[in-house]
Structure 1
């Protein structure tokens, strides 16, 4: 650690601080109030300068000023590929002929009048929730782990665990073993998905928070593209290599990413929370061009915000459900769980949805690949929309249009079964899956990254993702039952169900989701503490001098 007792340092220790035994960086900030020995006014002027500088930056200027912040956000977001890859992999495996021939059970197809094979409904659902069960464990581990050792080392730990767990999946020869392998793989996924939005939102300046966190949705789409391409290539092969090769390809990611994360800077916000101010300034310098920014002023801005949330206790999950933090936790949780209640599972099970809509296997895999490619393009378009139109605006309009399309899907699935109606259902499924990534999905990641208090961020994002998995598990069973020919066999009529749940989420968001576009973390803290109604945020001014 750098010696912050250096007299040349802007964070030089005072004799009083040294007397408290914390002259080497105030390593336990939760036991020591950063402002007891140094009055807020000592660094408030620098904090205001840094905040004004971020306000006055345009998006392109912010990219030029913080080029490495964008790069490291890109690397952290890349970790999401692994969860996306495996979620879509299991969704595609239930439609992959070689996998079905190996693990399927006989059933009579009333549409064709022939007997075929299908993965039993209970195992189809179990395999798709196994990873989520593991991730549910992982997100609860991520918060305390990250709060203690930081984003970098928590992520590296997850990557190394994933390397080991892939071996179990690769050599599995029965559905129960595959279930266990997926559950174990899910644990590091939970760490990645809890840390990524928090880390990305903390290392970039205000103007880049939207595109940095929305990259997570882009990498989710990239994971599905890789899966779509691989399974499309092997769907005609009837040997075990058709599913063994896609499993083995998972080893492409963890080791290179672990090396890169080792080289990455820790979040300066996390370092400030720990009182390691010199290291925080060094991290800021690594994230941006030193000629364009003042690390000391940026750290002062962070100190000012951390001071608003000061506490003498180690962050814990109980705090998420007290005072204004309860409202913030509920926003994160509800935005996360809404992803599963607004038709997102149609995208996750796209290939299987297409096959059950009467489309041939080859065309179903091709449509799945096309869907994933379009999703990536639309996520990039959403960067522009969310940056300039706002999070709430995009989320509400996107959700409303999504509900309308889901009802149309239900109508298309209710008419007589013909080639035209099958194509209509498949087309609407594709459109819903793609447009979801233009509005609600990418906006969700920005909201998740911005809403929580800095001090509780690792715990809040973990809790939010836990809510996602808790609602996703029954939704997967429901979705599989609705689509499976041995279950509800609803095909496009599932649009009615997801349209109804999506409408409830839309109404809740209208009343309770605030607009955080252009707000610093200090302003967000203050507006929550003032209990400003969600629809009044855009009309409420927070003075640059205000601390409460």
Structure 2
């Protein structure tokens, strides 16, 4: 029996299990895996789209669950500007001469779902490892159907907080399950498009929320804010029925040793693929074996050990940068525009235009992904948003000096910011977290990354209302200076720490991270076919440091 050099007893046991149970040698697995890697990398995105139509379809269906979180996230920020909502849950302000919800309640209600999401994300890290993607999603769709009733009929702000918290638990599962599933059913050429599609689902949810609110803003009854909550019931049932027929992730089946089922799932996901399903499974087995050699286990703590520590750092910071670049500011755009002097009706219209432009941004990201690397898109987007936030701050100076057009100028800058965000770091964060994480720790790494995002979101979600509230900081557009400064700091981080993962198989990424290849050299590195045996055999120093324009061989 052939074995890998210098592997531990656990690794040898895994290899023996594969060879004895499935009647293939490790040398045969390596040969088949190499064929799959070559065939997958030689496909064009258009060819991959034709050969894997069902992978695209099922990724699209699973990601639709994210619409619910996107809808509610934008719903709350806009409800705070709705007169009927303010009168029902707020109190009269002598400063603004109108009803308003106090900053503590604004923060509590808006952050309750984030707290629930935090718990849901942690649960998802365990659930998908134990039960798989499909069963986990089906159960959570049942829970969300019941939880929606609580905020819909909440009689007071406290009940709203409870309802939003409970709804956040399934939402946490949805937002981390969707990119992980997409990254595991998609071939390497479609991975960027299908993982970033999750962000489009958030955008669609945001757009629908504002469209609904624009229709009810003139209503004076309680249904002005209850109807938007009720509409969340239109998603769970059709998604549940469709997901009942979805294939399980073949990567998850390989991790469970169910190789025949994994091959069946690959056949369901592809159509006349140039990759033999058996070869595809062999590639997954080889990648899984390499990660067994690299890591001690699949616990959360293992995300902070060895090569996975760096992968976790990249995933966590890349997702948190969505907040550091100014996303909480945009989440309160309707409220901000009102405080800046726009009428309530105009504030809603500007916010609706912002979300409409978000669609353009996401589609632009797909154009960028075709021609540019993840690192280039991400870093370029950060720098562009820093400039736009600076302009928002300078326009506030003009507004304070009496310029009537500066408020509309701020609206224009935030519109451009939204296009840039949704064309760069908005969707790319999902892609980076899914690609950077190792396959065995993907669910837990994405969970840690998304919860890093949520922790930062909670902090700035509490701070932002105080910045904008007329009874508190009343910063208005000066908030742009704050976000520009933080955004620049993390642009520097991206330059030095964010690797380029475009076109890499997960096996190659495992090699590059274990070899500690610098982030700026990922793109030019070449991984040899026996790199895994070199790493866990003689541990030869096969990383050749060449000139900047030369190829690096790993």
Please say whether Structure 1 and Structure 2 have the same fold, judged by a TM-score greater than 0.5: yes
Contact 2:357–2:415 under 8 Å retained in 1: no
SS at match of 1:538: coil
Structure 1 residues 176 and 37: CA distance shift in structure 2, 3 A: closer
SS at match of 2:517: coil
Q: Name the CA distance, whole Å, in 1 between partners of 2:301 and 2:54.
A: 35
TM-score, normalised relative to structure 2: 0.91
Aligned to 2:322: 339
Shift of 1:417: 4.2
Aligned to 2:541: none
Q: Name the CA distance, whole Å, in 2 between partners of 1:373 and 1:526.
A: 41
Aligned to 1:328: 311
Q: Name the CA distance, whole Å, in 2 between partners of 1:35 and 1:453.
A: 23
Shift of 1:37: 5.4
Residue correspondence of structure 1 range 463-478 to structure 2 within 5 A:
463-478=448-463
Q: Which 5+ residue runs of structure 2 have no aligned equivalent?
A: 2-9, 20-24, 536-554
Aligned to 1:259: 241
Greater displacement, 43-52 / 125-134: 43-52
TM-score, normalised relative to structure 1: 0.92
Aligned to 2:115: 133
Residue correspondence of structure 1 range 190-209 to structure 2 within 5 A:
190-209=172-191
Aligned to 2:199: 217
Which of 445, 454, 467 aligns to 2:439? It is: 454
Q: Name the CA distance, whole Å, in 2 between partners of 1:399 and 1:318.
A: 30
Which of 46, 50, 73 aligns to 1:87? It is: 73
Q: Name the CA distance, whole Å, in 2 between partners of 1:514 and 1:465.
A: 19
Output one character per residue of 1:508-534: Cα deviation in whole Å (capped at 9) or x when no partner. Answer: 111000001111111100000000010
Which of 16, 31, 39 aligns to 1:45? It is: 31
Q: Name the CA distance, whole Å, in 1 between partners of 2:45 and 2:98.
A: 55
Contact 1:357–1:425 under 8 Å retained in 2: no
Aligned to 2:538: none
Shift of 1:35: 4.6
SS at match of 1:106: strand
Shift of 1:66: 0.2
Aligned to 1:181: 163
Over the residues paired in the alignment, what is the CA RMSD in angstroms?
Answer: 1.7
Shift of 1:544: 3.2
Structure 1 residues 244 and 196: CA distance shift in structure 2, 3 A: same
Structure 1 residues 423 and 300: CA distance shift in structure 2, 3 A: same
Structure 1 residues 304 and 366: CA distance shift in structure 2, 3 A: same
Which of 374, 395, 409 aligns to 2:392? It is: 409
Shift of 1:422: 1.3
Contact 1:62–1:205 under 8 Å retained in 2: yes
Residue correspondence of structure 1 range 25-44 to structure 2 within 5 A:
33-35=14-16, 38=19, 39-44=25-30
Q: Name the CA distance, whole Å, in 2 between partners of 1:291 and 1:430.
A: 42
Q: Name the CA distance, whole Å, in 2 between partners of 1:335 and 1:326.
A: 14
Q: Name the CA distance, whole Å, in 2 between partners of 1:376 and 1:319.
A: 37
Aligned to 2:486: 501
Q: Name the CA distance, whole Å, in 2 between partners of 1:125 and 1:283.
A: 45
Structure 1 residues 242 and 30: CA distance shift in structure 2, 3 A: farther
Contact 2:388–2:413 under 8 Å retained in 1: yes
Output one character per residue of 1:270-322: Cα deviation in whole Å (capped at 9) or x when no partner. Answer: 11011100110010001011464421111111111111011696511110111
Residue correspondence of structure 1 range 289-304 to structure 2 within 5 A:
289-290=271-272, 292-304=274-286
Contact 1:359–1:426 under 8 Å retained in 2: no
Aligned to 2:363: 380
Which of 372, 376, 400 aligns to 1:393? It is: 376
SS at match of 2:501: coil
- Count the aligned residue pairs: 517
Aligned to 1:3: none
Q: Which 5+ residue runs of structure 1 have no aligned equivalent?
A: 1-13, 15-28
Residue correspondence of structure 1 range 131-170 to structure 2 within 5 A:
131-170=113-152
Output one character per residue of 1:34-85: Cα deviation in whole Å (capped at 9) or x when no partner. Answer: 4555242121111111111111100110000000000011111111111111
Output one character per residue of 1:429-456: Cα deviation in whole Å (capped at 9) or x when no partner. Answer: 2221222111111121111110001000
Aligned to 2:508: 523
Shift of 1:425: 1.6
